[in-house]
Amino acid sequence: MKVLVIGPGGREHALVRALLADPFVREVHSAPGNAGIAAMVATHDVDVDDPAVVTALAQRLRSDLVVIGPEAPLAAGVADALRDAGIPVFGPSRAAAQLEASKAFAKQIMASAGVPTAMAVVATTTGQAEEALRTFGAPYVVKDDGLAAGKGVVVTGDHAEALAHAEACFAVGGSVVIEEYLDGPEVSLFVLSDGRNVLPLAPAQDFKRIRDDDTGPNTGGMGAYSPLDWAPAGLVDQVIERVAQPVIDEMAHRGTPFTGVLYCGLALTSRGMRVIEFNARFGDPETQAVLARLRTPLGGVLLAAAQGGLDRIEPLTWSRRSAVAVVLASENYPSTPVTGGRIRGLGKAERTEDVQVFHAGTALVDGKVVSSGGRVLAVVGLGEDLGAARGKAYEGMSLIGLNGGQFRTDIALKASRGEIGVAGGPSAPVAASPTSPASRGADA
C-alpha cells in the first residue's frame, strides 16, 4: 500500500522509518517532512493544517492510508475531510481530538467513564485561579486548557509563578485547569483504537524538564526510554481495563468515536494509577524509542485501526532489547530557540551500530542540514539492557555538533541503576471532576 505521513517532526520520522520496514508498504510520502525524512521518502511542502489541501494531496498520490502525526491538523479537522473523501486515515476527528485540544473536556470524559485521575478545577478568572491554588496548595499544577505545543503546563512551588501562568492564559482569552499534584513515577502508554477496539503498544517513560535532575521549565520532551522493567506486573492490562477502553467506549457512546492513538500519560502514585492527561496522537520522543523496539509490521496495524478492524490484529511483538532516546535541542529552547545552525556529524552517528537518528526541527539549506526548531533531533540507542542502550545513545550524540545545542545527560539513568520504584498498590478508581478539588504536567 501507499502511505502518506502528515507532520514535520521526529515522531513522523520514526513513523516513516517503521512504515518503510513493513514489506506490505510499497511507497511512503510525507508532508511537509524535514531534512531527515526527505533523505528517505518524497516530501511535499504543503499546509498540513488545511483539510482541503491535505485531502487533495492524498487524492493526487492515490494514498491507501494517511497517518496524521501532530495535534494541529487533527484539531483543524484534517481527518474529517479525508474520511469524507473516502480515504482511510489514522487519526481522530476534530470532535474526538478534543481529548487533547481541551483538558477540561478530557476531565469531563474521565468523570463520565469513571477513570482514575487528578481532581481539578477549571478557572477562567484570576479569582477562581487564586481560590483553586489555595485549595490544592503547593506544588501548584496549572495547565493551559488548549493546545500549547507541549509547553502549556507549569508545575511550581512558587504561588506567584503559578498565578502568572494562569493570568497569561486568561489574557489571550483562554482558561486553565488547576490540579492537585500527583506523586510517583510517570508512564506513557500509546493505545491504538479503531473506535471500538483497543491495542496497546509498549509503555515508555519520558523526561519533560529541560535540564538534568528534572529541573528547569517544561519542554515538549527531552528524552525517553522503553521498556519499563520497574513497572508493576499487569500495568498495561490495568490501563486498558480502567482507562483506555472506558474512554473509547464513552467517546463512542457520545457519537464521537475515537480512531487513532490515545496517548495515556499516567502517574503511578502512592494511591494507585492516575491519569495525568491524554493526547490524541503519538508522543515525541516516546515514539522514537517505542517504535525502535516494534517487530510487528506497522502499516497493516494502522490500516486496521483506520478501517475498524483492530479486533483482527494479533498482539504486537517486541524486541527484548532496550531503547533510549536523547533529544538535542537548540540554544535558548524552550524559550525562543536559536535556529539556522549547521548540524555536523550526522553521517557518523547514523553509521554507528545500534544508533538511530530521528530528525525533528531540521531543514536542508544549500545542501547542508541546519536547525529549524526548538527540538532538533533525537538519538536512539539500542542495547541488551538500559545501561547498554544509554551508552549507544550518548555515543551517537557525542558525534553530533550544533553550536549552542543542549541535551540532558541523565536520560534513563535512574532506571538503569534500578533506582525507580512504585509506592503503594492498586486503588479504586477516582473519577475526575472538572469542578471539584493530583498532577504534574506531561503534555507530550
Residue in this structure with the C-alpha cell 541523565, named with its chain if needed: 410
* C-beta separation of 166 from 123 below 8 A: yes
How much is the pLDDT for 333?
97
pLDDT above 70: percentage of residues in the chain: 94
Question: What's the Cα-to-Cα distance from 99 to each of 31, 53, 172, rounded to whole Å?
Answer: 24, 25, 21
Tens digits of residue pLDDT in 226-266: 999 999 999 999 999 999 999 999 999 999 999 999 999 99
Q: And the C-alpha cell for 273?
A: 494509577
Q: Residue 91 phi/psi, 5° resolution?
A: 155, 140
Secondary structure letter of residue 281 according to DSSP: S
Q: Which amino acid is at 239?
A: V
Letter string b/e over residues 383-400, b meaning 16 or more CB atoms within 10 A of that residue's CB: beebebbbbbbbbbbebb
As a whole number, mean pLDDT of residues 72-83 equals 97
Percent of all residues in the chain with a pLDDT value above 90, rounded to a whole number: 81
Which class for 283: exposed (0-12), middle (13-18), buried (19 or more C-beta within 10 A)?
Answer: buried
Strands (E) across 230-295 are located at 259-269, 272-279
At 295-332, the pLDDT tens digits run 999 999 999 999 999 999 999 999 999 999 999 999 99
pTM for this predicted structure = 0.89
Q: Which domains does the chain have, with CATH numbers?
A: 2-91 (3.40.50.20), 120-179 (3.30.1490.20), 186-416 (3.30.470.20)
When the pLDDT of each residue in the chain is averaged and rounded to a whole number, the result is: 92
Please report which confidence band the pLDDT of residue 145 belongs to, taking 50, 70 and 90 as the band edges: confident
